[in-house]
Amino acid sequence: MSITVDVRGLSCPQPVILVQKAIDKGEFPLEVLADSVTSRENVRRIAEKLGCNVEIIEQDDEFKLVISR
């Protein structure tokens, strides 16, 4: 079962902080819902920096990032 973190409508650094906390818990896969390119890229960077794999799925004007180890 995947964990979902919804960061839509949040401004940085809040999305990065929420995703980092979820990654630190170690529950994977982690799905992140984002609605801006800035949030998408910041979340992708922190996840990769923490050694995770990131798959980005674009859905209309939003993004789903699937983060795994």
Place of tokens 């983060």: 67
Put the strands of the sheet holding 3-6 in their side by side order: 3-6, 30-34, 62-68, 53-59
Give residue 12's pLDDT: 87
Task: Spell out the domain ranges in the chain.
Answer: 3-68
* Distance between CA atoms of residues 57 and 25, nearest Å: 23
What is the percent of the chain with per-residue pLDDT over 90, rounded to a whole number?
Answer: 91
Rounded (10°) angle between helices 37-49 and 14-25:
30
According to DSSP, the β-strands at 3-6 and 62-68 are unpaired
Give residue 20's pLDDT: 96
- In this prediction the pTM is 0.93
Q: Which CATH number fits domain 3-68: 1.20.140.10, 1.10.10.10, 3.30.110.40, 3.30.70.1150?
A: 3.30.110.40
**Mean local confidence (pLDDT), 20-45:** 96
